[in-house]
Amino acid sequence: MASSFTRLISGRNTAVLLASLGAGTMATGFLLSESGPLAAEGRTKLYPPSSDFPDLRKHNNCMATALTPAIYAKLRDRVTPNNWTLDQSIQTGVDNPGHPFIKTVGCVAGDEESYEVFAELLDPIIKDRHNGYDPRTMRHPTDLDASKINNAVFDENYVLSSRVRTGRSIRGLSLPPACSRAERREVERVVVTALAGLKGDLAGRYYSLGDMTDKEQQQLIDDHFLFDKPVSPLLTCAFMARDWPDARGIWHNNDKTFLIWVNEEDHTRVISMEKGGNMKRVFERFCSGLKQVEHLIQERGWEFMWNERLGYILTCPSNLGTGLRAGVHVRLPKLSKDPRFSKILDNLRLQKRGTGGVDTAATGDTFDISNNDRLGKSEVELVQMLVDGVNHLIECEKKLERGQDIKVPAPVAQFRK
């Protein structure tokens, strides 16, 4: 039976009542009324979208560029089947106007359905972040055939380590910004159960962040495997650190060259890595392990989030498609001081970071160089692009060592439309 408060607010004298009590008083009473679902629905209608539109005048991220008052008005009151809202999606971009080293996306998905429910905003963001890729008209290719990669063993006088990573999400469960404790624990259960089926050089062990011993924790720190509770505001404002460290953990093979992070920024982060410059071997292990993990997941009645327009679905729109980041730590003492260095990287579709990650500036002469693209090219294409680009950088470094001039390469084609 509807409460007297609910009947009162639905009556024709509502406007008079709001004026006499004040909107804040009314909203407080409304939220405390016994009619929960009706109260939530009514509250969204208390103020027009124009009153809720965020102040983005000093912002520099993809969300702030794409979000207009008209789009906000259209999407504000929509919810996904898991009750994820537009305001929750954009909160990280509202709270973080910009980033000192990269242009951020400024929003996250709470579930697979977010990319459809909020498509009027997310499609332009995807197009901006992924170099004109149109998710309504284009199709994303997938290719995990590592035999197609060429010239992928780097000169180890320059390349110190090689790494390929991606993410995968379990269909039917909310993504980390929105998941309940139960969903997060289910992700852990599904993934860890599947990983127990890996054999041979991929066989390994899972370490729960909440249950590991001090000795195990120190070993993971020494191996540079352990991920900490998120402190970056880009992640905390996207609700990534809730209930930490509940249902988070790290799995790695016995050789410590194949890792899977569980319930960090995505359901899973899959990483193949090793010291030195053998990117060919790193990518072979990456492809083999990823295929086996997907097969084991499917055997247990689950599947990864994927569609032909967006490829693999992940939390951040920047990681759609392949979700792949292939990178090396490489020494470039002379090239890094050349004024053409940034232009060379841009034309090769590469990005540089500090060796400490996305939130660190490069220091000294060692850089984390990786592919800049994720969507519209296959895994093989992106890794080959990284390989060709790093080989070019090393050749430039060698020329500068010999006192020879270098040239800025022509821009690499972005993708086939």
Per-residue confidence in pLDDT tens, the chain, 417 aa: 444 333 333 333 443 333 333 333 333 333 334 444 434 443 456 899 999 999 999 999 999 999 999 999 999 999 999 999 999 999 999 999 987 667 899 999 999 999 999 999 999 999 999 999 999 999 999 999 999 999 999 999 999 999 999 999 999 999 999 999 999 999 999 999 999 999 999 999 999 998 988 888 888 888 888 888 888 888 989 999 999 999 999 999 999 999 999 999 999 999 999 999 999 999 999 999 999 999 999 999 999 999 999 999 999 999 999 999 999 999 999 999 999 999 999 999 999 987 655 545 556 799 999 999 999 999 999 999 999 999 999 999 999 999 999 999 999 877 554
Q: Contact, 323 vs 314, CB < 8 A?
A: yes
Kindly give the residue spans of alpha helices, DSSP state H, lying in 352-406: 379-401
> How big is the chain, counted in residues?
417
Bridge partners, 279 (sequence order)? none
Q: Tell me, what's the pLDDT at 15?
A: 38
Are the beta carbons of 409 and 348 closer than 8 angstroms?
A: yes
Amino acid 60: pLDDT: 92
> Which of 123, 18, 134 lies closest to 62, judged by CA?
123
Q: Is 248 exposed, middle or buried (0-12, 13-18, 19+ CB in 10 A)?
A: buried
- Find, among 106, 417, 166, the residue nearest to 289 by Cα: 166
Cα dihedral 262, 264, 268, 274 in deg (nearest 10): -90
Give the pair of three-digit tokens for residue 85.
Answer: 């809202």
**319-356: burial string, b at 16+ Cβ within 10 Å, e else:** bbbbbbbbbbbbbbebbbeeeebeebbebbbbbbbbbe
Q: Quick one: pLDDT at residue 214?
A: 85
Sort 112 into a burial class: Cβ within 10 Å, 0-12 / 13-18 / 19+: buried
Instruction: Quote the CA–CA distance of 300 and 136 in Å, as a whole number.
Output: 32
Of 230, 303, 293, residue with least CA distance to 263: 230
Q: Which of 88, 98, 114 is nearest to 64 (CA)?
A: 98
Q: What stretch of H or E contains 193?
A: helix 181-195
What is the SS3 assignment for 284? helix
- Number of other CB atoms surrounding residue 149 within 10 Å: 19
Q: At what angle do helices 23-31 and 14-21 cross, to 10 degrees?
A: 110
pLDDT for the residue 363: 62
**The Cα angle at residue 209 between residues 203 and 212, in degrees rounded to 5:** 75
In Å, what is the CA distance from 239 to each residue of 93, 112, 136, 269? Answer: 12, 17, 29, 18
Residue 88: the pLDDT is 97
